[in-house]
Amino acid sequence: MPTVKRDTYTPDSLLSVAVRVFNERGYDGTSMEHLSKAAGISKSSIYHHVRGKEELLRRGISRALDGLFAVLEEPRAREGRAVERLEHVTRRTVEVLMAELPYVTLLLRVRGNTDTEIWAMSRRREFDQRVAELVKQAAADGDLRSDVDARLATRLLFGMINSIAEWYRPDRAAHNGARDETPAPGAAASTSAEVAEAVVRTAFAGLRTG
């Protein structure tokens, strides 16, 4: 008798494939057939794990959001002067983006076409607002320039952070980890810590009062 191929996919491994396909094709351009072919399993096997592709979208986005909101609960994001907390949040947000790159990329590409995307955009605004409050407090403390609107400063800051998703490639980062090599043009920095530090120094050089 022929051997029946067993479904060896787990919810996490299936999610990883789905997020990759969503990022390549766009969520609206992805069908269950596309997911089935990418995973190498039948559509019925996928339905064994999830109700449909929107559940996969929500799980992928939730992974990114959970990582970002967890940053706001870290001790260094909750204690000390506002400007120091803001720098910590900035640094850690970069690190989360780079560690969870496919999931954060998916989050950044939602456009509000489904209930899940509308929910995700609302959560993103909540995160931005909490960071903007830190900016306001740091300005009130005299540590940041008061002549730059807090919401505008927050948007500019996240514009810089979010752009990392467009050019950072982990495979290049690993290749460029050797210090005796000259990185190719446009290659990623070797560690998330280096990129995070560069963002903090660049952004706060123009925002800090001293």
Structure tokens at 124: 């993103």
Task: Give me the sign of the Cα torsion angle 13, 21, 32, 52.
Answer: positive
Q: Average of pLDDT values for 141-148? A: 93
The mean pLDDT value of the chain amounts to 89
Q: Would the pLDDT of 180 be above 50?
A: no
CA 166 to the chain's CA centroid: 11
Q: Looking at the chain, which runs of residues are DSSP E strands?
A: none
Q: Would the pLDDT of 176 be above 80?
A: no
Q: What local confidence, expressed as pLDDT, does residue 171 receive?
A: 74
Q: pLDDT category, 170, cuts 50, 70, 90?
A: confident
- pLDDT tens digits, one per residue of 15-55: 999 999 999 999 999 999 999 999 999 999 999 989 999 99
Structure tokens at 1: 């008798």
- Which is nearest to 15 in space by CA: 64, 78, 75? 64
CB contact set of 204 (below 8 Å; sequence gap of 6+): 83, 87, 90
Structure tokens at 130: 């909490």
Query: Could you give the C-alpha distances from 93 to 25, 29, 32, 39, 122, in angstroms and in order?
Result: 26, 29, 32, 30, 18
Q: Would the pLDDT of 186 be above 90?
A: no
Cα–Cα distance measured from residue 35 to residue 48, given in angstroms and rounded to the nearest whole number: 14
∠88-94-72 over CA atoms, to 5°? 45
- pLDDT tens digits, one per residue of 55-111: 999 999 999 999 999 999 999 999 999 999 999 999 999 999 999 999 999 999 999
